[in-house]
Structure 1
């Protein structure tokens, strides 16, 4: 938000040009009346990477000032940067402040003016905002309406509906064109379409941009090239996985050898991550990334936009099914693993297959008294059991002085639960089978809190 200030009288050339305009050729703009309306100007620019903020703001403001010439002057400005028009006004910082000031009797303005409808509204946004404008006595001036908007005028109502549909269509059309172009560039050219470089690679020059104008401005393409520091780690991870090693054991060896994890190896591009150690998800993400085969792969994690009338984040990214991926038709960069080995890695299953006779009746019903975590099932000396590692995993080296694991055998647990139920006045249930005991606990929403010396029945946490 910024308050408008009048330009001083030192610009002699501008005053001379204005006064020297021949009558009849250009109509002089009447001066703003001192006693006219006080306007709040609202503008928006969606992306600062591809649009110059000041230029966009200037032409919008010029259009607004031309509209209100002779009716008043702009006294305050609200301008949103890097905000999509699909966001409702409460979702845009400056627009939200502007709407909040409507109800303030000392707000300092009488009307709101915009330089272009599409920069301010999309779809039915204006229709949902107009009741607030009317309730607070704030006018809305639109260039498309050639002045203040009047919903009592049938033509104005039709205009708002038309502009809303046109604005939404422009967004959808631009997005569709961009996505189709990116799809073709990734599939037919194997072009790198931006983003952080993949771990194991670095970005190198790939020649001038194919668009002549972009090439004239000096813009160049980029592609992946193996990073001499991190590429050997990626090759080693795939080789180890092909031998049948588990993801956790691979991560544990990387941590024990002091190999920097991806977020630490490139901390400048990963400020949102701690960069402390390799984790299961990090190793798994590398093993599942088909770009290491040398092919460019696009649309693995496309963006999804939540409709404005539904709750939730405006933009989310979700993993797409493999049949929705776009894979380049040719090799786009040097591979770190062959396609045959990559496909073979996807079929590796390091976890043992479930064995006949291994059943755990109390899964999800046991809680650690010390750390409040759920106990996990494990097979101990030929019998079902449960344990809590207090947050420790095999990925990280075992720290000195760490609490020892808590182990509970299922056969001992069954007798303990029967005693606890008998103490609670339910002696009739003391002869129930393990399956019946587990069903009873779930029906009564009870959990067993386990410790080194004692166990107890407690209410389960609310869902």
Structure 2
């Protein structure tokens, strides 16, 4: 006859603390949102460290980014990478909408975490992925979060369109040569001189590559403090804002939150004499005519992407150090 003896578990062996991380996100970089982010970060760090059975595994966050695209959220991607490296056992976040506003992304990440035996707790919904009998509830709540995001986006687009129409839209991030002062575009004198030189050099026959190389050699920083590239120079020459005019809605976001160049799919709005000009309309037109002529000589017309992608690996190899694209 078989004899079965129960061997009691040794609780002394189960003393390893649960490594708990938290994820926070705010969608805009406004002062109010950043204050909210700091409050979330402080809350979760204290909350995790106050539990004796938990070990603080880090706090990951994204500020000023939308939750509709995970590819643009470095904090979230860093957390997922650390999960794969086995550094995290459990994750806490405020709500599904803070974690992801895209149903597909949300389910994909939760499934990936479950495969790694890592659970995530959504505080607002009181939902623990480790206690779910099915994905139905998560799918429903994720869909609600995504629908809410679409509704917010549509309301924002409507409000923005009204500002386009009445000319009250504020350009929060002006191009190189300008700054935003109390909602108005104001010329930055030293940068304006660089812009004038770029247009003058273009008209004398210098290529965008030669101009960018010269600016880098002179140690002049670009708009974001980075290096100048031919694409940056091309963008300045083709930007109508340097004439004092503004064209609104040159790009748009579709229902899937993907950004597109507006080739006439939606209305555009031209505002003349919106701000002080750096370049005259005549000089602007002549410089752009030069660029178009060079494009025709290369056989690609106005389609620069055709030139940049003429070979199999053009635009597809990225430098691991500076992030530049190899052409």
Give the TM-score of the pair, scaled to structure 2: 0.58
State which of 261, 269, 284 in structure 2 corresponds to 1:327. 269
Q: Who is 1:295 aligned against?
A: 245
Which structure is larger by alpha-carbon Rg, 1 or 2?
1
Within the alignment, does 1:250 sit opposite 2:223 as a pair? no
Within the alignment, does 1:80 sit opposite 2:80 as a pair? no
| Equivalent-residue separation in structure 2 for 1:124 and 1:253 (angstroms) | 45
| Equivalent-residue separation in structure 1 for 2:88 and 2:168 (angstroms) | 55
Within the alignment, does 1:58 sit opposite 2:42 as a pair? yes
Question: How do 1:47-446 residues align onto structure 2 when only pairs under 5 Å count?
Answer: 49-50=29-30, 51-52=33-34, 53-59=37-43, 73=54, 75-82=56-63, 84-88=66-70, 92-101=76-85, 104=86, 109=89, 111-122=90-101, 123-146=103-126, 148-149=128-129, 150-152=131-133, 157-189=135-167, 191-199=169-177, 202-203=178-179, 205=181, 220-225=182-187, 227=189, 230=192, 234=196, 237=199, 250-252=204-206, 267=221, 269-274=223-228, 282=233, 285-301=235-251, 319-321=261-263, 324=266, 326-329=268-271, 331-336=273-278, 351=293
Cα displacement (A) at 1:164: 0.8
- DSSP 3-state at the match of 1:78: strand
| Equivalent-residue separation in structure 1 for 2:88 and 2:121 (angstroms) | 17
- DSSP 3-state at the match of 1:40: strand
TM-aligned CA distance change 1:256 to 1:173, over 3 Å: closer
Listed as ranges, the gaps of 5+ residues in structure 2 are 1-13, 297-310, 312-327
TM-aligned CA distance change 1:145 to 1:56, over 3 Å: closer
Is the CA contact (8 Å cut-off) linking 1:192 and 1:296 kept in structure 2? no
Question: Cα deviations across residues 374-393 of structure 1 (Å, max 9, x unaligned)?
Answer: 9xxxxxxxxxxxxxxxxxxx
Is the CA contact (8 Å cut-off) linking 1:114 and 1:142 kept in structure 2? yes
| Equivalent-residue separation in structure 2 for 1:280 and 1:336 (angstroms) | 20
TM-aligned CA distance change 1:117 to 1:341, over 3 Å: same
Cα displacement (A) at 1:120: 1.8
TM-aligned CA distance change 1:263 to 1:165, over 3 Å: farther
Is the CA contact (8 Å cut-off) linking 1:224 and 1:333 kept in structure 2? yes
Is the CA contact (8 Å cut-off) linking 1:299 and 1:326 kept in structure 2? yes
Give the TM-score of the pair, scaled to structure 1: 0.44
- DSSP 3-state at the match of 1:85: coil
Q: Who is 1:45 aligned against?
A: 25
Listed as ranges, the gaps of 5+ residues in structure 1 are 1-33, 206-219, 241-246, 308-314, 355-373, 375-463
| Equivalent-residue separation in structure 1 for 2:276 and 2:91 (angstroms) | 56
| Equivalent-residue separation in structure 1 for 2:111 and 2:100 (angstroms) | 15
Q: Who is 1:30 aligned against?
A: none
Question: How do 1:11-30 residues align onto structure 2 when only pairs under 5 Å count?
Answer: none
Question: Cα deviations across residues 84-112 of structure 1 (Å, max 9, x unaligned)?
Answer: 433448963432234214xx4xx574x43
Q: Which structure's residues are more often helix, by fraction?
A: 2
TM-aligned CA distance change 1:232 to 1:77, over 3 Å: closer
- DSSP 3-state at the match of 2:241: helix
| Equivalent-residue separation in structure 1 for 2:288 and 2:205 (angstroms) | 17
Aligned residue-pair number: 272
Give the RMSD, CA atoms, in angstroms.
5.1
Cα displacement (A) at 1:118: 1.6
Question: Cα deviations across residues 204-256 of structure 1 (Å, max 9, x unaligned)?
Answer: 64xxxxxxxxxxxxxx323234848846974995xx8xxxxxx8652439999
Cα displacement (A) at 1:187: 4.2
TM-aligned CA distance change 1:227 to 1:180, over 3 Å: farther
Cα displacement (A) at 1:294: 2.2
